[in-house]
Every structure is written in structure tokens, then in C-alpha cells.
Chains A and B, each alone.
Chain A
């Protein structure tokens, strides 16, 4: 009687859980994927926002307010249907800084503005994110109350989304700068080149990239001779409109456009390397990049470790929610789904991003898997030689792999050990994972061998077996039954661990999802897609491994059994 009741309760709770999850998923999906004007208009914007924008944007001082207005107009005219609820009518949830007392403020990791905010806001709680798209999501879903960024980014976002508004008053009036290693001789050259390009030209670029006319947003081709060499530039790749991934995954935006313009002036070629804000300065410090650009405002703290060259004014502002939230676009669920699908896969051929990411994940997993297993077995055999030096090295590696998180090991490899080397990040990832997986494999195999009853070796010896042969014929096959499932599990764990390679700027499946999220500002579709792809990938690879193992080892067993069966049958007949 009681068991029956418990079962019923359990079932009910499960249903409740599933129901609750689907409802909240649906809700999250709805709030987050509200139609944004620009995406509908991506090809067809006719409004010339150029002139209105540029003249006021250049003034800098009170530029933020005018900028807001002009881009509001540009935004509302361009967004057609949604112009009624456009940003020009939206009222910010917080109008004064004092309204934000005790509230949550979010900014990008590495952005040094909490002190500035503290000057105007009491008791603000700070959270740091790796990408601005994540901050926007947090803002819209109520996980934070204000998003900090420069006026360009904030205005751009407010233009795209009627649910967001820029607070009128800027926090600080600052300048964007290109970062160089301290004491670099390049600083003077670039400073001069920027002056030569001229403020007018720079403002022109600014207006193009902040505006909503996508057709004007074309990067110049590197068609100059480049007699003065090539520079490696670390650039932000997930912050629109400063630096982001466009068509064919190329990095576009105001920052690359400006950089190419100055490079042309200097007659140097440019090699861009895209990454998130927090990775920009370390790249320059470690020497992996010659300079870095990416929505970096010149601050005292930054100047202590870098030399920075200013190229455009930029104010620090706060982006908040609009007061009336009510009417989110209530187009049918299916229409939204279709739009999400288009944005995630079709627009700018993003499916390529995903497939490339998938390929990278696959390659790293398979190569590191194979190398790791080989390394593991190699160490097992070396270990049996009982050489002191080998044992010490093995022990050190074990301590490192067991004692440090994978992401830390990878970053140490990439930024420190291979810091100066001209080696691709994918190779570093493969090396890192091979070593980690190899050590784990070694550990598993050694313990599996120990787990075999020592009596087995005694029995083999007592029959006359030599120790080596006994190990191969009797001990190892029994150990294999123990270690194979364990190694397979570790392999699956490793496949999932590869999702951290984004930290060393590798574009794998997870990073592809991140980039799409930062472009579409949607979480649901990209994340679900990535999740499904990972699941399928893992199931597929596990299945293949099982197949190979069964064919090879179990097949051998079956063959031997059948063969002997035949022999004794024949004997019976005679």
C-alpha cells in the first residue's frame, strides 16, 4: 500500500518538474527573443542616418545625449512597424544615478569602471561577464539592473531593442585607445599615423558603424603593398559595433575599420586575431600580439601596464531597461521559432560557424584521444622498467594534471610555455588534452593491473610461464576488462572538457555558439543547438569505440571459442 503511494508521488513530482521546466524555458525564450527592428531590416534600410548622426557624434562632450536622439530617430525610422514602440518614446527604468543605489551593475571582465560608478551610485553590486551579449540577456531577464559600456555599444544596442534605453547622463567622458606593450617604439609611429588620417575621417567611420545602414558597413581590403611588414593585432570579436564576426566569420566593426585605415597610412599589413575583451591585454603583454584594439577606454590603471594611443572619444554610459515592458512582440510561437532558426543558422551563413566549430571540437577530441591513449600505454610500459628518473617525471605530471583544472593548464601552456612560439592554438589544445588524457589513462591502467588478483600471476608462474608472457596473456586481458570502460568514460569527459578551448582563442563548437549568441542576442536556439550537437557527437564517438572494441577483442574470444568447439566435436566423432 505504501509503496504504491510513493510511486504515485514520485510520478507527480516528475511531471511537476518537467512542466515547470518547460514553462520557464518557454518564458525565457519569449522575453529574450523579442523581435528587434534591425534584423528585419538588414537588407532594406533606406534611411540616411549618416549625416544626422555624424555631426553631433563628433562633439564628444554632450555627445551622448544627441547621439541617443539621432540614433533613436534613425532606429525608429528604420524599424518600420515597431517605430511606435521605438526607443524615442521609451523611458528608462532609472532616470538618476541615485535610483541605482544598491542595484546590480554589470560590465565586461577587465573593464575597470567600478570606481567610477561608485562616485555616483551607493552600494552598487557588480557582476562581470565575458561577453556583452550575456550582459544584455541578463539585463532583459532581470538578472542585472544596468549594463555598462561605451556610448557606441550602448546606443547601438538601444537602437536594436526597444526594451532597452541608455541613461541620459554619461558616467565619464573618455577616449578609446590602441594598446601597446609598455615602451614599444611603435607608439609614436601609430600616434602620428592617426593624426595623419584625421579626425574627420575617423568620425566618418564612426557614424557608419554606429548607424544602422548595414550596406555601408564594409571593411577596406588590404590592397596596399605592406612594405613595412605585418602587425599582429589582438581584437575584440564579440562586441558589436566595435568588433564582431560578420559574414564568413571575418571580424568587422569600427575598430577593425579604423585600424586598417591607420595601417594603410603606415603601409603595414594586418593579421587580426579575435578574442574577448579580457584576453586582449594579456596577448600584448605576452608578446603574442603587437597591439590590441577593442573598445578599450584609456584609464589610469591601464596606462600603468600598457602604452595607449587614443583614436576616438567615447563616453562611459549605463544601459537600462525601458519602463514599459508590457508589449513584447506577440507573434505566434512558430513565427518566432522560424525567425530564431533563420537568425541562428541562415543569416550570414552562420551554419558554417557551427560546422567549423563542430569540426574543431571533433578534431581536438579524436586526435587528443588517440595521442592520449598511446601516451598512457607508453607510460605504463616505461613505468614497468622501474627507472627512477622516469618515475619522478611521471609523478610530477600526475600532480599537475590531478591538481590543476584543465582550463588553467591550457592557459599556462598557451600563454606561458608556448607564449613565444608560433604555434596554433588548436595544436596547443591538442597537446594539453593529450597530456591530461594520457596521464589519466596511465593511472587507470596501472590500477586495473593492480586490481587483478596476484594469485593469477602465481598460478601462471607455477605452470611454467615466464613473467613477461604471463603478464601479456593472463594479467593484461583481465586488466583490460577493468580499464576499458573507465578509459571510455574519461574520453567522454575529455570531449566535454574541450568546450573550454575558447579561453585560448580556439573556435570550437561552444565558442561558435557564443559568437552566434552575441550576434543574435538569443540564448535559446544557439544553446540548444550546441547542446544537441554535443550530445550527438558524444553518442556517436562512444558508439564507434564500442563497435571497434567489440569487433576486435570480443570477436577474438568468440573465434577462439568456436574453433575449440569444433576441435572437440571432431574428437567426439572419432
Chain B
């Protein structure tokens, strides 16, 4: 018998129907990633699981009982379902240890010593035993989230719900939290994770649910969803999150914004540092050497595609709407020895450039 069965779940906010007819099952030990476009009700779905939101129709059967029934003992239910939030929500007026001990003594009615024991074990598991007597405000974002995970685990839940656990974190802190989640998944804990981190979804999930249009649009193993999605919409979504592009007029082109957007994307994909640097250099040189501010209405279109293993496959610059593109093509095909940008770009140092009338494409090494 499945641990959790979600049947025809429906949720309405005013005129909006984020959840129309959600159906899926959760077996014990499953690690399910829930992905999908923003605002489609992924968080709402998760919050219906522990009744922080109440659905407007359908059933959630947990241990043979429908928890959407108004007679459900909510406090008991929530003890069995631990939740970790995007904004951590640690209690700021208590130390880290107290954050974890207090719910135990208040709700589970165990002694302070016992609760302390459990708390310290959980803190050790997330690597933060040394911060037990610190206050939350003294911790970094990644540390706070790890404490939040420890706090939820201390209640010995049967299911752990993660609502975009790394979305509020700096890319540099994401890995420490992902490591903890990876460990938990390995330990056999049943988990539901709403996430944008494709890497995590791919690595730890036993099942991926793609939610769109208020239903489970497509579901399957990570390989299926990420590499071989059946439906076009799914494919578009996966593509969208695995491609970086820039499309603006010359007037609106903010070079700093462009380069930092590129950097953020590369970090999210855990791209190799050297690959990222190659891409950046090529794009920087092109923009500074060949984009002419004298023609503010020209359009600049740059795209970077990822290949397998999230390594960049190619950088593509569309020059069809640039004034003087013939000159650019000539400069790159036969670079003048005094034109440094052209020399850099056309050298085979970073990638093999292919230049035609409308595009410049580098296959990256």
C-alpha cells in the first residue's frame, strides 16, 4: 500500500486554479522532485500535504486516512510531516540548540536532556554541532537552512517536505545544503522537494513530477524527464532552464548585466570554471570590439547551449540585425593584425568559430 496517495486534488485562489486535478502516489523511501514554471502551484501542492493550505477538492490519503477531512488532527499530522521553507524561519530569539530542543519538549513532551541529545545528533549530521549556542542571526544562509533541516528532523517525521530549499541562497551556499539533502535521500527518508535546482533533482530523485496547467503534466524518472521528455511543453521547460540567452537592442544593452546574468546561469549549472571563462571572454570581446553604439536600434542576440553533463556546447551570436555585419564577417574571417578583438575571437584558442552571414557559432572545446 502506498504511503501517500493524492487523488484529484483541487485548489482555488479567487478566480485562479493553480491545482485542477492532481494525481500521484508516494511510496515509502521515494524522493520526489516537483518541478515546473513559477506560479503554477508547486508550493501550494506541498502546503496541502501538511494542511498549511486546505484544498478545495480531492483527497490526500496518508496511512489510509484522508487528511483533507476537516476532522483530521492537524497537529498530529504535522508532527509526521516535517517541512523546510525557502526563508528558513528559524526562531531568532532562541539559540540554534534551543530552536531544535524547544519544539521537542513542547510538543513531544520529552525531557530536556533527551531532547538535547537528539538535537546535538541532528546538528552533527548537518555538520553544525559547533554552532549549537549561536543565535540564528550569526549564521550564514546555508547554515541557517541546515539548522532548519535539523530542527525538522528532530521531530522524527515520516515524510520531509522541502519548499524550494535553496532558492533564497547564494550560489556559493547552495552546495552545502544540497549535500545534506543528498545524504538524507540516501538514508531512505521519504522526501518531496519543490525545486529549481535541476542538478539536485537529477541526482537524488527517484521520481520527477512536472506540474503545469494545474495537473501532473508529465511524470517519470529523472533520466526520462530531463533527457527524453515526451511532451513538447515539458521539453520547452527543460530547454528553457538549460539555455542562456540575451536579446536586446544596442541601446538597452547593459554589459554588466549581461555578464552577471551569464555568470549566475553558469553557477546554477555548476559549470566548470574554465568553460565559463571561455564563454565570457568570447562574449566580452565581441561586445566590446564589434557592437557599435552608433546604431542604438540594432539588435544583439546571444545564446549559450548546454550539452551533456551541463557543459557548454556552443555559444551563438546572431548578427543578422547588426549594422555593418558584412564588415564584422570580413574582420573575423581575415583578422587584421592590429584588431585584437578579432584576433582573439577568431583564434582557435577557446573554440572553433564558424562565421556566416547571420551567425557566429563557436563549438567550445
Contact = CB atoms under 8 A, between A and B. Distances in A.
B50 A462 contact: yes
Contact of A564 (B90, B92, B133): B133
B343 interface: no
A458 B116 contact: no
Nearest to A564: B97
Contacts of B353: none
A464 B78 contact: yes
Interface string B73-113: 01110110111010101111101011001110011000011
A20 interface: no
Contacts of A474: 91
A230 interface: no
A299 interface: no
Contacts of B107: 463-465
Contacts, number: 84
Nearest to B75: A464
Interface range on chain B (Cβ under 8 Å from partner): 35 or more
B250 interface: no
Interface string A448-477: 000001011011111111100100011001
A571 B107 CA distance: 23
B282 interface: no
A298 B76 CA distance: 83
Interface range on chain A (Cβ under 8 Å from partner): 20 to 34
B93 A455 contact: no
A174 to B, nearest CB: 71
A463 B103 contact: yes
A568 interface: yes
Nearest to A477: B93
A123 B256 CA distance: 74
Contact of B89 (A456, A473, A567): A456
Given A455-B85, A564-B101, A571-B117, A463 B151 contact: yes
Contact of A458 (B89, B97, B106): B89
Contacts of A198: none
Contact of A462 (B78, B90, B93, B133): B78
B116 A561 contact: no
B98 A459 contact: no
A478 B92 contact: yes
A481 B91 CA distance: 13
Nearest to B51: A461
A469 B90 CA distance: 17
Contact of A567 (B50, B113, B151): B113
16 contacts: A453-B87, A461-B74, A462-B50, A462-B81, A464-B103, A465-B75, A465-B103, A478-B93, A557-B93, A561-B133, A563-B112, A564-B101, A567-B113, A567-B116, A571-B117, A571-B120
Given A456-B89, A469-B106, A567-B116, 13 more contacts: A459-B148, A460-B91, A460-B103, A462-B81, A462-B82, A463-B82, A463-B152, A465-B75, A473-B106, A477-B93, A561-B133, A568-B132, A571-B120
Which 8 residue pairs across A and B have the least CB separation, nearest first? Answer: A459-B89, A464-B79, A462-B83, A455-B89, A464-B78, A463-B103, A567-B116, A464-B107
Interface of B: 50, 52, 74-76, 78-79, 81-83, 85, 87, 89-93, 95, 97-98, 101-103, 106-107, 112-113, 116-117, 120, 132-133, 148, 151-152, 155
